Structure 1
Amino acid sequence: MKTVGLALAVTLLATVHVVAGDTRFERSLRNLDPSARLEQICDYTAMLRIRASTPFRPDRAVGSASSPAKAASNMLVANGAAFRSRKKWYRLSYTCKTTPDRMKVLAFDYKTGPEIPEEKWNTYGLWR
């Protein structure tokens, strides 16, 4: 019984942490202009989705690394995106559709690519 109680407590604490983090993120998003908000929420979603479904552990995502992302209405297409995982950068492409206020993602599709050689990081505006 103690094990079940401990597991429940850990789960509740983890949930509170995620909700608190999301609330802070949402407050930050509201302070951005709509175009920056679109790219930020899509980059954030890219990190969450990659973390949930691959062995990567992304801590950064950039929608316009090797080529500019293209925005139209509430959709962002980022064919030249990149994400960082364990101090290495990888190619990424994604399509992201949000609500009109650009606060929630409605649809997200992505594809990860190969590692980006460190000698190209400066060219793409990437960092260690």
Structure 2
Amino acid sequence: MDNALRAGLLKLDPQTRLEQRCDAEVLDRITQDNRQYRADRVVAYAFATPQMTTDSIRSPGAAFRSKGEWYRLKFKCETAPDHMEVLDFKYKIGAEIPKDEWTRYNLYD
């Protein structure tokens, strides 16, 4: 995590910090683990409402954008109590989402 992201996260309330930290982890992990993707956006609530606890998010209906295309995604992210360090993270990439469905799920170019 770079210093700008760290400084920005520290200004957020705890729940928003958890969400933003996990979103950043999604983007980093997908891009690092799968050279075919360059993830630049994630929408945790595209197909289902994320389930949150004090220090974790489970998002069974997320989506991420890579190279102008959107893909289905499931992820679980657990952080330390300050929501700055990710302790556990798992994800699974699903199918590409057809462009004619983007508006229905609040996805955009």
TM-score normalized with structure 1 length: 0.80
* Corresponding letter in the other structure for 2:81: P
* Corresponding letter in the other structure for 1:35: Q
* Corresponding letter in the other structure for 2:80: T
SS class of match (2:102): helix
* Corresponding letter in the other structure for 1:23: N
The whole-number CA distance in structure 2 between the counterparts of 1:64 and 1:33 is 19
Structure with the higher fraction of residues in strand conformation: 2
Matched with 1:26 is 6
SS class of match (1:32): coil
Matched with 2:27 is 47
Which sections of structure 2, spanning at least 5 residues, go unmatched? none
Following superposition, the deviation at residue 32 of structure 1 comes to: 1.6
Following superposition, the deviation at residue 117 of structure 1 comes to: 1.2
Q: Matched residue pairs, number?
A: 108
- Write out the 4+ residue segments of structure 1 that deviate beyond 6 Å after TM superposition: none
TM-score normalized with structure 2 length: 0.93
Percent identity at matched positions?
Answer: 42
Matched with 2:76 is 95
Following superposition, the deviation at residue 24 of structure 1 comes to: 0.3
Structure with the higher fraction of residues in helix conformation: 1
The whole-number CA distance in structure 2 between the counterparts of 1:24 and 1:60 is 18
The whole-number CA distance in structure 2 between the counterparts of 1:52 and 1:80 is 22
Following superposition, the deviation at residue 64 of structure 1 comes to: 1.2
Give the counterpart of 2:96 among 115, 123, 128: 115
The one-character-per-residue Cα deviations of 1:27-72 (angstroms, maximum 9, x if unpaired) are 1111222111111111110111111111111111121111111101
The whole-number CA distance in structure 1 between the counterparts of 2:3 and 2:105 is 31
The root-mean-square deviation of aligned C-alpha atoms, in Å, is 1.1
